[in-house]
Structure 1
């Protein structure tokens, strides 16, 4: 399954989650390039300076320094990035209904996905 994405950005502070998610993305040929960042702050800086141009982002919610919602606040301020052409999936282990609701209300979030990401979920996203 190749979804046609050029660059997928995975933002999660958990090394193990990144390793597993990256393997799933790679094995399904989800995108030509998969970039992994363990810091939302670093990710937003690299999007801002143009060194990463993702067309799909998997964003963790609970991270130190800058959480997923804080990332989205900074993302909204970006100039020169095709925000309308970028899909953002909130990928989180949070079971808090407030987090799910808040994600659903954010105009940049395409979908809230409960961890772990699976092959089946990827197939549904690409359908």
Structure 2
């Protein structure tokens, strides 16, 4: 399977979820580079400074310091999507339909996926 993306950014505060998601992404040959950030604030700073230039972002919905929705608000202010839009996938264990609806109402979010990430979900991203 060919690599689909150059750089994938995974933003999730949970170490175990990051470990599992990263392994799925690696074994699925999903991206050349997979960068993990446990802090949405640090991820925003790295994006703003141009240290990380992802093609796709997997973003957790519920995190203690900054939710995925708060991240999206701050991300929007950075106006990084002027040339090539970054595909953002909300990845969450939340069963609250409001989280899914709010995610899909964001102009930045391409899809909402329930954790854990699966190979089947990765396949659907390419279609």
TM-score by length of 1: 0.94
Equivalent residues, number: 126
1:62 aligns with 2:62: yes
2:102 aligned partner: 102
1:10 aligned partner: 10
Work out the CA distance in 2 between the residues paired with 1:72 and 1:116. 21
Give per-residue Cα distances to partners, 1:69-107, cap 9 Å, x unaligned: 00000000114x236521000000000011111111111
Work out the CA distance in 1 between the residues paired with 2:24 and 2:99. 25
Which structure 2 residues correspond to residues 1-127 of structure 1 after superposition, within 5 A?
1-79=1-79, 81-82=80-81, 84-127=84-127
* Misfit runs of 4+, over 4 Å: none
TM-score by length of 2: 0.94
Q: CA deviation at 1:7?
A: 0.4
Unaligned runs of 5+ in 1: none
Give per-residue Cα distances to partners, 1:2-25, cap 9 Å, x unaligned: 343110000000000000000000
Unaligned runs of 5+ in 2: none
Work out the CA distance in 1 between the residues paired with 2:2 and 2:47. 24
Is the Cα–Cα contact under 8 Å of residues 3 and 126 in structure 1 kept in the other structure?
Answer: no
| Partner SS for 1:77 | helix
